Structure 1
Amino acid sequence: MTINVSAFCSNEALPLSDYKKRYRDAQIGASYGTIGDDLPPATEVLALCNQYNIQRIRLYNPNPSVLQALQGNINISVIVGVANEDIIRIASDAKLAKSWVRNNILKYENVNFRYIAVGNEISPLDGGSAGIAPSVVPAMQNIYNAISAFGLGGKVKVSTALSFAVLGTSYPPSAGAFRPEIQSSYINPIVQFLAKTRGPFLVNVYPYFAYVSNPNDIHLDYALFTSPSIVVRDGKYQYQNLFDAMVDATHAALQKVGGDVEVVVTETGWPSAGGTATTVDNARSYNSNLIKSVRKGTPRKPGKPIETYIFDLIDENQKSPEIEKHWGLFLPNKQPKYPISFAK
């Protein structure tokens, strides 16, 4: 459930039933990256979100200009990230965690905070973030304790966004399993924390990268949701698109470690330029079909919409390599690259 922090500070907040009604159908959102020197102001970006019925966004850090622009915008709920570089200090200092929550959550009373994602794609197997990995769960715990201390425990959920690469096996989906070398030391403590606090398992799922890494075995139409027939038969489950297969592999992996937690896809998308099969038409096909598909659930969980965030809102021209610049739904001039509808 999306929470307006002012609900705990004012008698004028909307009743719980109204919040549930407002957000129950808004399962699809977008990531809002800001690594660009030609991006429109946050107020204009959020107006664009309202115009196109994008009711959920993900921020990678507590960007003050964006959070300020979100004040009072009850149509949009937010995932806000704790930056990777802040995790070690927050893990070792409960007072710093409380200060982070005070400055980045409580300060913005009229913002609908949904989740706090403590880090993005941190893994013990990744050379760039391996040193941070031992601090992830302690940082999550300190942020959660701070949220609870301010009366928001269980209302604003705390998690961490992981790469799909934490799975060592994903085919067939029922064989989905986490990498054994990180399962007991890294994944299990995260899952146990989420099960205890009823937080979601956040994962970035990219059929695009699966396709380009293995185009001989993965057909483009399977990755783009356009296959005319079933591609993978996995016992009683049948898969017509790769996204569902990857999400259900995550479900299977969680089940194997006893993790009865919700899966939220915090990044997915298709680039429109810069690499193999990167065309505007392919990006349109993937994202348009994704929006329709996630509302139906997966073969393992039919009828249960998958909360999903498209990467990303606007092209970011300062990212590298080249392909990283072309994932936006919109150009920096706020024009859509292709027709797309987030309306139900």
Structure 2
Amino acid sequence: MSAILLLVGVFSSITATQSIGVCYGVSGDNLPSRQEVVDLYKTNGISRMRIYYPDEEALQALRGSNIELIMDVAGETIQSLTNPDVAIDWVNTYVTPYSDVKFKYINVGNEVHPGDAVAQYILTAMTNIQNAISLTNLQGQIKVSTAIDGTLITNSYPPSNGAFTSDATTYITSIINFLAENESPLLANVYPYFAYVNDLQNIDLAYAIFNQQGNNEIGYQNLFDAMLDSIYAALEKVGASNLQIVVSESGWPSEGGTGATTENADTYYANLISHVSGTSGTPMRPGVSIETFLFAMFDENHKLGAETERHFGLFFPNKTSKYSLNFN
């Protein structure tokens, strides 16, 4: 862990206000063209985007837009990127030709779990992509990471007890070393909604949607901060106390399940934007702003899984807003 321990203060001084990002998924019917979507981002003052594969039509539309981008490696591509030459070809195909697109992060693996078949390839693919980016002298601009979810964390209450599960520790420690060595953040998908619906007896709706007044017994005003700090606590326990977390997804569904209403979603998104746009930080990281991407731009009726999965959109396909949100 020596590389991590040497990384002192790299991210701890980040205090500037953060603009909001929004994830752009395309698993739905009748969605606007890529150019119309980019224009919608600009019209609403949304200055960051996440796409889930190298969508070349979207990349063309992003040229000159000044929108900062997380671009995921397609899941089915990850194993092939363990070949350094394939990784170089990937960067030369999807990154270097788009010099007027503001790539910020390349994400290798979304919510990969230690037992997944692809888990064994994540670190090598990340390393090869980072090396390929370095060959283009873009390593100071573009960082490589992976996005985790809350299932890798155990003992999350109180948040200071948060730790990686035993399986996750083996999987994530070398990845954390890589992130520290390259001064890259860890991406994390943080969903208070799912924590709430999975523990209705102990989690109040008001706590989950930022409407709780006053501190609870562990000093937290909202579930989002508690979940985020449990990941920071887990990082501390593996010697990575200075690693930054970027919230690469967070959202609330408008229908399809318990607590999934337009009113609750509107409240969650509005309060989340207000919270992360300032510099209040979390109890474990006070004064450190929270770079956050909302999920998602549109409802995606082709998504698999629970009904709620299809109702996280902020906008309708006709480009009108589902909510009254100020992204600035």
- TM-score w.r.t. the length of structure 1 is 0.88
Alignment deviations for residues 164-207 of structure 1 (CA, whole Å, 9 cap, x no partner): 111122110100100012202x1101100000000001010010
Alignment deviations for residues 121-144 of structure 1 (CA, whole Å, 9 cap, x no partner): 11123xxxx110010000000000
Instruction: Read off the aligned partner of 2:118 and give its amino acid letter.
Output: I
Instruction: Read off the aligned partner of 2:137 and give its amino acid letter.
Output: G
Structure with more relative contact order (C-alpha pairs < 8 Å, separation 6 or more): 2
Q: Which runs of 5+ in 2 are unaligned?
A: 1-15
Alignment deviations for residues 229-276 of structure 1 (CA, whole Å, 9 cap, x no partner): 21241xxxx201000001111111101101121001101100001111
The CA distance in 1 between the partners of 2:49 and 2:283, in whole Å, is 26
- Report if the CA contact (8 A) 2:54-2:94 is conserved: yes
**Local SS of the residue matching 1:106:** coil
Alignment deviations for residues 287-318 of structure 1 (CA, whole Å, 9 cap, x no partner): 00001111221111112110000000111121
Instruction: Read off the aligned partner of 2:259 and give its amino acid letter.
Output: A
Corresponding residue to 2:250 among 257, 260, 268: 268
Alignment partner of 1:43 is 2:20: no
Instruction: Read off the aligned partner of 1:225 and give its amino acid letter.
Output: F
Instruction: Read off the aligned partner of 2:231 and give its amino acid letter.
Output: T
> 1:154 is matched with which residue?
140
Alignment deviations for residues 43-68 of structure 1 (CA, whole Å, 9 cap, x no partner): 11111111111100111111011100
The CA distance in 1 between the partners of 2:197 and 2:150, in whole Å, is 15
The CA distance in 2 between the partners of 1:243 and 1:57, in whole Å, is 21
**Local SS of the residue matching 2:60:** helix
> 1:178 is matched with which residue?
164
The structure-2 alpha-carbon separation of the partners of 1:53 and 1:26, relative to structure 1 and needing over 3 Å to count, comes to farther
The CA distance in 1 between the partners of 2:96 and 2:216, in whole Å, is 48
Q: Which runs of 5+ in 1 are unaligned?
A: 1-23
> 1:97 is matched with which residue?
87
Alignment partner of 1:29 is 2:11: no
> 2:100 is matched with which residue?
110
The CA distance in 2 between the partners of 1:62 and 1:31, in whole Å, is 14
Counterparts of 1:189-208 in structure 2 under 5 Å?
A: 189-208=174-193
Counterparts of 1:286-301 in structure 2 under 5 Å?
A: 286-294=268-276, 295=278, 296-301=280-285
Alignment deviations for residues 209-237 of structure 1 (CA, whole Å, 9 cap, x no partner): 0000000000000000001121241xxxx
- TM-score w.r.t. the length of structure 2 is 0.92
- Report if the CA contact (8 A) 2:145-2:187 is conserved: yes
- Report if the CA contact (8 A) 2:105-2:144 is conserved: yes
- Report if the CA contact (8 A) 1:154-1:198 is conserved: no
Instruction: Read off the aligned partner of 1:89 and give its amino acid letter.
Output: S
> 1:169 is matched with which residue?
155
**Local SS of the residue matching 1:80:** strand
Runs of 4+ in 1 over 6 A off after TM superposition: none
Instruction: Read off the aligned partner of 1:101 and give its amino acid letter.
Output: V
Number of aligned residues: 309
Counterparts of 1:262-341 in structure 2 under 5 Å?
A: 262-294=244-276, 295=278, 296-321=280-305, 322-341=307-326
The CA distance in 2 between the partners of 1:155 and 1:278, in whole Å, is 38
> 1:252 is matched with which residue?
233
Instruction: Read off the aligned partner of 1:317 and give its amino acid letter.
Output: N
Corresponding residue to 1:141 among 104, 107, 127: 127
Corresponding residue to 2:214 among 225, 229, 238: 229
Percent identity over paired residues: 47
**Local SS of the residue matching 2:246:** strand
> 2:50 is matched with which residue?
58
- Report if the CA contact (8 A) 2:193-2:252 is conserved: yes
